[in-house]
Structure 1
Amino acid sequence: MEPGLQQGPQLHTEIISWFTANARDLPWRRPECSPWGVFVSEIMLQQTPVIRVLPVWQQWMERWPAPAALAAEPSGEAVRAWGRLGYPRRALRLHAAAAAMTERFNGSVPGTRDELLTLPGVGTYTAAAVASFAFGRRETVVDTNIRRVHARALSGKALPAPALNAAELRLAVALLPDDDAASVAWNASVMELGALVCTARSPKCALCPVQRRCAWVAAGEPAPEYVPKGQTWAGTDRQVRGALMAVLRQAREPVPRKLLVGPPELLAADGAAEDADPEPAALSKLHALRAPAGQLERALTGLLADKLAEESDAGLQLPA
């Protein structure tokens, strides 16, 4: 047994009580939020902070309050509305999932983990989270925040393993309360504790409801066994892809290829930019990167391969 696992009931009581008093008021947590709203939030929150997701989620729910509403529009509109959340393939997955719900589940979000796993782009975490938070089912939800709380409070480690492993999953399963409602509250509470208090870089241990039970604190807060690698941005293909996507999102007509990958000085010389349909600011930002031609072509090829863009004789645009 993991050291401290016998304290499970006390951990449940103290962390859930803390959550009741301190949880953020997020719209997808409110009783009136539909399962579709929860589903959309779970996709958007992957690798993206709440503060960035909130306005986009609200806009999506106003425009597409049910799966059928999103499925009725071209997938490119989902990509356009995704804005700058990053990892825009998630928008395509949401659109594909909405289409599957419309075709196979009468326009509703399926209510079980196994059914959710049949949807395009839905993995084990998302299926468990939606089944738990939208339908009140007892499911083991394990995200980065939850893994970090488990690692510190029970295993005495500063950080969880770089990737989820079998031991961590067994621990999460063992900690899950038997009661359905308590399991849902536990999942949400531990996730919130990791997001607000037991953070990766600067944990606020003085505010933690289980500080006196924490194995990591008891061990003297040992340093991490590895140093997480931060994601670079400037000069990367991801940055160039993002700049290309910004141009396509703002364009309502196909964008000539040379506007995207041609040297800016040549575009200015032949007046091509004057015929540009997209917002000039987006083009200016793309050109200001001064990305090498090979990198621009590579990023554009990647967008086409990921079906985030389509190309015709007229140029490039979001998928229809």
Structure 2
Amino acid sequence: MPRRWAARFRPTATVSIVDPAALDHAAVVTKTLRWYGHAARDLPWRRSEATPWSIMISEFMLQQTPVARVLQPWQQWVERWPTPAALADAPSGEAVRAWGRLGYPRRALRLHRAATAIRDDHDGEVPADYHILLGLPGVGSYTAAAIASFAYRRRHVVLDTNVRRVQTRVALGAAYPHPSATAADRALGEEFLPSKAERAARWAVASMELGALICTARSPRCDACPVRSHCSWYAAGRPDWDGPPRIAQRYEGTDRQCRGALLGILRSSDDAVGAEDLLQHWPDRRQAERARDSLLADGLMIVAGDDRYALPG
């Protein structure tokens, strides 16, 4: 195994991991694509009529949010703002309001800013080039690769958590990848990436679906996996994770929940809300004030005069 990969994982002494160089990457790709052809979910942003803009909206919404929670808001956004210019022409506060309870509402502001940049600098069309996409607000390496691949069938390594988990188990024999994408993940992703752009784009979405439906984090369905015979983690007896403890994120009582509660009050009001009316909706006054200040700093709310607050725009 290449040293740069081996250093990331510490399997127990009884585990034997297959050298990634010996893996039949092409066979893994072929079997995954064949499985995807009959097992893929019918998601609206995957249909032939989906536009690059609607695909871009889905990528922003799907960040750290399950598909089931995204379906309805995505449909509402696409109908209300069918083009980047339509969203850019609306007040940014309307984007925050329409984001509802998807979580991480800064994504709504970033999407609005990206739409504005697309309207002003790219003739209203979502760019196809990866490096140009990276220049848009809120678009990182994963999102740029995903948009270029899914909307324009470009050849890119698309690494979300599901893909990294699949390739880590298959090639490296470890239960989980590093918490965030690394250069080693990208190098491994290149090993799987087909040379033809169309096939590479289909592999990107198929491997993502395999991780979402079969090679899941908590209860992997190895009996239904199309690449089980190639998986070094399965061959090693599915060894337990031997890395740092994986701690589930707590939500109840956090500043994030408090921020969401305050934003919920602003979203439900057509008028500016007084400070006392806003802060009384959270039991911990100091935490509420801290959340209010962070929302102001993030641009998710504004001072509307006379100690009153409102959504931006």
Name the TM-score, length of structure 2 as normaliser: 0.92
Does residue 296 of structure 2 align to residue 304 of structure 1? yes
Q: Name the residue aligned to 1:103.
A: 120
Letter in 2 for 1:32: E
Q: CA deviation at 1:32?
A: 0.7
Letter in 2 for 1:251: S
Q: Name the residue aligned to 2:52.
A: 35
Mapped to 2, the partners of 1:136 and 1:208 lie a distance apart of 26
Give a deviation string over 1:51-93, Cα, whole Å, max 9, x none. 0000000000000000000001000000000000000000000
Q: Name the residue aligned to 1:274.
A: none
Q: CA deviation at 1:4?
A: 4.2
Mapped to 1, the partners of 2:249 and 2:83 lie a distance apart of 34
Mapped to 2, the partners of 1:213 and 1:256 lie a distance apart of 61
Structure 2 unmatched ranges of 5 or more: 3-18
Mapped to 2, the partners of 1:108 and 1:73 lie a distance apart of 17
3-state SS, counterpart of residue 211 of structure 2: helix
Q: Name the residue aligned to 2:206.
A: 189
Mapped to 1, the partners of 2:257 and 2:135 lie a distance apart of 32
Structure 1 unmatched ranges of 5 or more: 263-285
Mapped to 1, the partners of 2:108 and 2:279 lie a distance apart of 24
Aligned pairs for 1:1-320 (under 5 A) are 3-5=19-21, 6-225=23-242, 226-262=244-280, 286-287=281-282, 290=283, 292-314=284-306, 315-320=308-313
Is the CA contact 2:170–2:230 (under 8 Å) kept in the aligned structure 1? Answer: yes
Give a deviation string over 1:3-36, Cα, whole Å, max 9, x none. 2444011011100100111000000000110000
Is the CA contact 2:31–2:226 (under 8 Å) kept in the aligned structure 1? Answer: yes
3-state SS, counterpart of residue 68 of structure 2: helix
Percent identity, please: 51
Q: Name the residue aligned to 2:15.
A: none
Mapped to 2, the partners of 1:254 and 1:4 lie a distance apart of 58
Letter in 1 for 2:285: A
Q: Name the residue aligned to 2:16.
A: none
3-state SS, counterpart of residue 154 of structure 1: helix
Mapped to 2, the partners of 1:106 and 1:166 lie a distance apart of 34
Give a deviation string over 1:251-300, Cα, whole Å, max 9, x none. 110000011224xxxxxxxxxxxxxxxxxxxxxxx34xx2x211010000
Give a deviation string over 1:150-203, Cα, whole Å, max 9, x none. 110110000011222222111001210001111001100100000001000000
Mapped to 1, the partners of 2:245 and 2:151 lie a distance apart of 35
Count matched residues: 294
Letter in 1 for 2:200: S
Mapped to 2, the partners of 1:316 and 1:175 lie a distance apart of 51
More relative contact order, 1 or 2 (CA 8 Å, 6+ apart): 2
After superposition, the CA RMSD in angstroms is: 1.1
Q: CA deviation at 1:312?
A: 2.5
Is the CA contact 2:45–2:58 (under 8 Å) kept in the aligned structure 1? Answer: yes
Q: Which moved more, 1:224-233 or 1:119-128?
A: 224-233
Give a deviation string over 1:232-269, Cα, whole Å, max 9, x none. 1111111111100100111110000011224xxxxxxx
Q: CA deviation at 1:110?
A: 0.6
Mapped to 2, the partners of 1:153 and 1:174 lie a distance apart of 12
Mapped to 2, the partners of 1:168 and 1:98 lie a distance apart of 30
Letter in 2 for 1:249: R
3-state SS, counterpart of residue 313 of structure 1: coil
Q: CA deviation at 1:213?
A: 1.1
Runs (4+) of structure 1 exceeding 4 A deviation are: none
